Chains A and B, each alone.
Chain A
């Protein structure tokens, strides 16, 4: 069922069993998990079914610290969320990503990779991925031409990725949601306030608004925030009428530990002889799986470095590409996406690669950011069109990211040299190990994580291992804002898996009336 929030009677009350705030990858995945059940599911989406500039503007905000993309352009605010323009890159987190690592302060999830494994299987299907097998051997059986650059040993391994079509949740799942008898989707339903009981131990209702001037109330047994890492934090912080610090923020953690993946060109790989390096190549819409170079967990521990992966792109193409942080610089996400993606398409079309392959490859890093309490989302003094304080992002990196980056390349450089296949040349910004600065082309992956991090200890996390907000019995958070560390891969697959796990947990509670 679907209702447009702009045409509802003012101050009406909507009641249901569970209320999901946000209809992106997390919110839609969870709602679908409850389809055809006896429970009434209320799914609130701030936008409509298509881009609306006035609604998108609600995501605008300031950024400080490490230069970042305009916030308004970094997420899509309509049904389907940012899957409306995501690229579909998927790979599961590694077991080490969940572990407490002595060399990474604030690391360590209260759950293990094994806890997510059954849900990765389900998430694969939601994202229209292939078999849930990320071993290189599996894909090599399908295509023996997938040959690794160097043999896998104790230093390097080939981390496989799969590619979603990419699934546009708004298109793919709209009918299923709208035609559902028990999912009640409300569009133009921007939640502006969460109201708790007097002690703050339970949420009583949510208020949503739109530009019609009317507002509605939603009451449910369980509430799940699934608005993305920046907006989840913003909503909790802005719900501060009863509790000045905001909801779930007794320990001043909401909004802190904002994490991104550092995405940056880092080196050049020069081969002794040309090679297409098919195992590492990617053609949009064609490639089902490819590898990126990764460092074994034992070596990460031995050298005290973060987890990351390295992708390879022929230099003939790479040298013509504009860095994302330069191309993606407009507030309007449609313009930024056109410039960025259009730039890539143009380069691909205009570049003819040698049939025998290239000699030179750009090595591009995607590396986790170490959890950092000073990298954070706060409320700005400026308010949006619905009178909610805008988000302000301070993105801050630490010296560990750069040291890790450099060490990763040293290790890969040594392996490439040892194998006798070529040599690696670091880009200038990595040559001086005392230099802690970042070059102007440093970018992120549009991956927002960590602002309501998970911990069994309320002093260290906003939500517990079941993604329930500490101290609030019926408020949960879905998505990457619950991540404790960022892992190396893009977050979508993992955030959907984590959401499906949360969904199972809430089903159990509802069944037991917990």
Chain B
């Protein structure tokens, strides 16, 4: 059911269009507030640790060290399709959770400050670090 909510955008033109309207905070869809909250990691680490992980990831991956880039990566599913701006929180949360599970499944992991993390949750930490500098 949730997959129907995706607008199947081409990886080239569509993605850019979808995020054009999201650059300004005042116009961001409501689900953006969950992007910088690594759910599972929040059970284990305090916010300071998550910020440190995020800062370290930004140094490890300078090419991703930008909020819009991270948001774009987080809001793209494994098929390269981006989330519609009118998606709801639950849908996006499920997407992120699935991405994390798939990351672990496909060994798409990264070691940041010793933590073995799904790349998706490491990006969430990085976004958190940017938002809480």
Contacts and interface: CB of A to CB of B under 8 A. Distances in A.
**Most chain A beta carbons < 10 A, residue from B41, B107, B116:** B116
A300 B129 CA distance: 37
Contacts of A214: none
Interface residues of B, number: 19
A427 interface: yes
A271 B41 CA distance: 10
A426 B115 CA distance: 6
Contact of B104 (A272, A418, A430): A418
Contacts of B101: 418, 420
Interface string A390-418: 00000000000000000001100111011
A424 interface: yes
A425 B114 CA distance: 5
A423 B44 contact: yes
A426 B117 contact: no
A423 B40 contact: yes
Contacts of B107: 410, 414
Contacts of B104: 414-415, 417-418
Contact of B111 (A410, A415, A418): A410
Contacts of B117: 417, 423
Contact of B116 (A271, A426, A427, A428): A426
A413 B116 contact: yes
Contacts of A427: 114
B3 to A, nearest CB: 21
Contacts of A267: 114
A422 interface: yes
B113 A409 contact: no
Nearest to A411: B107
9 tightest Cβ-Cβ pairs between the two chains A and B: A413-B116, A418-B104, A417-B104, A426-B114, A270-B44, A425-B114, A424-B116, A272-B43, A414-B104
Interface of B: 40-41, 43-45, 100-101, 103-105, 107, 109, 111, 113-118
Interface of A: 267, 270-273, 359, 409-410, 413-415, 417-418, 420, 422-428, 430-431
